[in-house]
Structure 1
Amino acid sequence: MMLCHYKRRLFCIFVLVSVLTFSSYLLLYSGTDTNYFLISKGKGERSADFQINRGKVRAEKELNEPIMKWAPNLKKLPDLQPQLAANETFDEEDVEGVPMTGTGELFDCPPPPKWLNGRQPCRPAKKIMFLKTRRTGSSTVQNILFRYGEKHNLNFALPREGIQFSDVSGMPFQRSQMMKTNHTPEGYDILCHYARFNEPGLSSVISDGGIYITTLRDPTSQFESIFTHMRLDKLFRVPGNNLKSSFRVFMEKPEKFYSVLSSTLRRWAKNPMLFDLGIAPQEMLHLRQVDNYVQYLDRKFDFVILREYFDESLILLKKLLCLDFQDIAYVEHNVRSAAAQFTDTTAEGLDSQVLRWNMGDARLYEHFKEKTLCLIRHFGNEKMRREVMKLREMNEKYYDLCVEDILNDGANVWSPANSRAIAYKLKEKAVENEMCVNLVKPEYIYTRELRHKFMTNISQKLN
């Protein structure tokens, strides 16, 4: 009897321990203090969803569809979706030989594109579609393409008026937004003014193997720049003593302000880069559709320039378009004056709010950041360092040769009210230097001159 009673007590204890263990397991996996990230070892291999909880990394389950192919330096994104990547231990200083967090293995890159492997001859590009996005360094790239197009006497597709194709409604690009003329038998070679991406419309202008390029920027800084430069505080009537306080108020409850305006007025107030790249606003609400659209953009664009890797991106662009160092020399354009640069989202502790609100842009940026790091790896780190140094030396040379001063309230530089952009004052001797003049020429003036040149050429051909 004593033995049987003892066995029953052991059995009860065993059941109790099992129940408690199972309950703890459920609590652990239903907690709200977790962050997720995705690691995939390469194309065709299975992805794993990893959960970070109290500093411990553990595989949770396999996903049916890999969303990211590599896992380099990924910012820690908000805990909203289990597919979202968040790896903060990648060392940006050494792109080659970076271990994946928790694995000790190297992340894999796909094979390099043909234009990077050095096997095809270098021929200057004659058909370029540059999708100009907002607050991503795109005005600086545009100036490079202005100079390149003039150097090779290429035909520019120009807006009907002003400096952008898409009007205030944010309509996708259509040929009807171009200058009205029926006398361009040679077709167009470069399109580089702001337009909302619409592949059928753009391919009707730049076809025959045109190279598609755009620019992106880390959403934490890009969204702050959009908010400031476009004066979203006034549009949404955000309370605050200044831009800095209004931005913080907006980021605390962005839905409150976003929901009161029509879709036309709020188009840049959430995922502005995806909006410029043509995604339908309703598709931004579904991350699987966002991921599918990012893959679509990956297929359509030959190269994406990143603001955070700007010089490295220009070196790669030089290779893609067969440019020289003088072609890619630059001064920064459409940069806010010092007075308009009010905050650092990291220092202000707003990174997570900005990324949570712009989740689609975060996924877009991380995808192309990974791709850019792989291109740098294929190009060669040491070779990249040498060429970046050469580019910066050339930039310094032209700055010293051309620029006398930076003006914080530049004339002929477009910017919304109360958010001024800088301009450059040329040295007296540089006024006669064509490179200096074009290097600092604002978009408004360059566009006006190109439009005049375009109409003059048409008149000459008709006579």
Structure 2
Amino acid sequence: MGNRLIQKLFLGMFVICMMGFYCLKTSTLLATHSVSLAPCASKVRNNSQRTLKADVTCSPKVNLMFMKTHKTASSTLMNVLLRFGEKHQLRFALPDGRNDFFYPSSFFRTQVKSYQPGLCYNIVCNHMRFNAPEVEKLLPEDAFFFTILRDPAELFESSFHYYKAYVPQTWRIPGGNQFEEFLVDPNRYYNPQGINAFYLKNLQFFDFGFENNLEADDVRVQESIEYMEKRFQLVLISDHFEESLILLKDALCWQMDDLLFFKLNVRNATSVSPMSPELRTRAREWNGADWRLYQHFNTTFWALVEAYGRSRMEEEVKELRRRNAEMEAICIDGGGAVEAAEITDRHMKPWQPIGKASILGYNLKSDIKRQYEELCRKMLTPEIQYLTDLGVNLWVTRLWGWFKDSVVQFGLS
């Protein structure tokens, strides 16, 4: 018992030191420059396709801001964007030292790797705490802003287990089901001033740069929703991921080949806590601002589906599933995701959180036909490795990974 306490204290001190370092480092990156919007806008050649109206053609959009939210299938969608950007030789605004833009600090464009005032970027898609004026300075005027939301009950269950080792105030929650115990009386355990407390309340609201401790009926919640409606051209819903991709394809004038995906950063089902209807209601009430945000954009989402056409949507989703199943048969050894310990290629192993939540990954087939080798590997490459392949020096992320795997996990095993 004494050793376990010492380990937790050591972990807590390390986290506090790292957070202090991040804040110190971030403070040196807040210098801003008076620059105009980036002037360039690359085009994808010979790739036009038809929109809803048969007599109207469109060109694929390439200037994109994807606001990557936490625990919303955003890593899977990010992989789609990285592959599209590489395929068309687009310029990414990438982070420096980490796989995010110094989250949870607010985003500043000087956090971008090799940033220079006025330099054009086509795609921004890494985790950040959204700061629209700073993001807008990186992209051309025609940039398409979109994001993705998830039912707050499902998101809270996922984030609670994934991040609880990084939130010291959860360490004192008793019982075998800490998630349920927390939701019985959240205010007994929740301290809004605690380290990483934002993971425990309205995480989506926080990601968008808003105050996450607002109550659902606060007028600022509605104002924030209205702001998002004006800033983002499309808000996807991860609970209906395939339908979301079809709407995105239509909005961006992309092709079905651009949407192919495998699910990334997915937890083992054994680490998912089942939720009763009562517990689901409690989770939504606790995350009331997120619930209002989700309800609003879930309504707009289905209005877009209706405009697109229900039967047309069903056919497109069926085709996307068929194409993904083909790629699974071509690429994945064993046909599905496996535990990290069963992945033979170190480059394919996903990042693992501290604790019992296990993130699944894939084994590549050894006999993939040459024309599919590169696509298969990129579709299955986890985020950390993909960013490294793009030239990001993830020294901070790797330092934390070494400490997590060599010291913390070993000590707790």
Same fold, TM-score > 0.5, yes or no:
yes
What corresponds to 1:334 in structure 2? Answer: 265
Amino acid at match of 1:265: N
What corresponds to 1:429 in structure 2? Answer: 367
Cα shift at 1:286: 5.2
1:451 aligns with 2:391: yes
What is the aligned counterpart of 1:217 among 137, 147, 150? 150
Per-residue CA deviation, residues 56-111 of structure 1 (Å, 9 max, x unaligned), is: xxxxxxxxxxxxxxxxxxxxxxxxxxxxxxxxxxxxxxxxxxxxxxxxxxxxxxxx
Query: Closer, same or farther in 2 for the Cα pair 1:205/1:329, shift >3 Å?
Result: same
Cα shift at 1:452: 5.9
The 5 A counterparts of 1:227-246 are: 227-231=160-164, 235-242=169-176, 245-246=177-178
Cα shift at 1:144: 0.4
Structure 2 Cα separation of the partners of residues 263 and 383 of structure 1? 48
Structure 2 Cα separation of the partners of residues 297 and 118 of structure 1? 31
The 5 A counterparts of 1:3-402 are: 121-167=57-103, 170-182=104-116, 187-231=120-164, 235-242=169-176, 245-259=177-191, 262=193, 264-281=195-212, 283=214, 287-341=218-272, 343-346=273-276, 349-402=278-331
Structure 2 Cα separation of the partners of residues 119 and 195 of structure 1? 40
What corresponds to 2:18 in structure 1? Answer: none
Q: Is the 8 A contact 2:151 2:291 kept in 1?
A: yes
Query: Closer, same or farther in 2 for the Cα pair 1:350/1:452, shift >3 Å?
Result: closer
Per-residue CA deviation, residues 282-340 of structure 1 (Å, 9 max, x unaligned), is: 55575221011101101100111111111111001111112111110111011012332
Cα shift at 1:194: 0.4
Per-residue CA deviation, residues 22-77 of structure 1 (Å, 9 max, x unaligned), is: xxxxxxxxxxxxxxxxxxxxxxxxxxxxxxxxxxxxxxxxxxxxxxxxxxxxxxxx
Q: Is the 8 A contact 1:214 1:305 kept in 2?
A: yes
Structure 2 Cα separation of the partners of residues 193 and 437 of structure 1? 20
Structure 1 Cα separation of the partners of residues 115 and 290 of structure 2? 37
The number of residues matched between the two structures is 331
Higher relative contact order (Cα pairs below 8 Å, separated by 6+ residues): 2
Amino acid at match of 1:161: G
Q: Is the 8 A contact 1:238 1:246 kept in 2?
A: no
TM-score by length of 1: 0.68
Q: Is the 8 A contact 1:157 1:178 kept in 2?
A: yes
Q: Is the 8 A contact 1:171 1:196 kept in 2?
A: yes
Query: Closer, same or farther in 2 for the Cα pair 1:264/1:235, shift >3 Å?
Result: closer
Structure 2 gaps of 5+ residues are 1-50, 394-413
Query: Closer, same or farther in 2 for the Cα pair 1:452/1:263, shift >3 Å?
Result: closer
Per-residue CA deviation, residues 408-460 of structure 1 (Å, 9 max, x unaligned), is: 1265422321222111100002385111111111101110111269xxxxxxx
Query: Closer, same or farther in 2 for the Cα pair 1:407/1:117, shift >3 Å?
Result: same
Identity %, equivalent residues: 30
TM-score by length of 2: 0.75
Cα shift at 1:238: 3.9
Greater shift in the superposed pair: 195-204 or 230-239: 230-239
Instruction: Tell me the SS of whatever aligns to 1:317.
Output: helix
Q: Is the 8 A contact 1:238 1:249 kept in 2?
A: no
Cα shift at 1:171: 1.3
Higher strand share: 1
Instruction: Tell me the SS of whatever aligns to 1:214.
Output: strand
Per-residue CA deviation, residues 255-304 of structure 1 (Å, 9 max, x unaligned), is: 12112x62552012100011101112455575221011101101100111
Query: Closer, same or farther in 2 for the Cα pair 1:181/1:273, shift >3 Å?
Result: closer
Query: Closer, same or farther in 2 for the Cα pair 1:147/1:376, shift >3 Å?
Result: same
Cα shift at 1:126: 1.7
Root-mean-square deviation over aligned CA pairs = 2.2
Structure 1 Cα separation of the partners of residues 146 and 281 of structure 2? 29
Instruction: Tell me the SS of whatever aligns to 1:213.
Output: strand
Q: Is the 8 A contact 1:158 1:191 kept in 2?
A: yes
Cα shift at 1:366: 0.5
Amino acid at match of 1:247: F
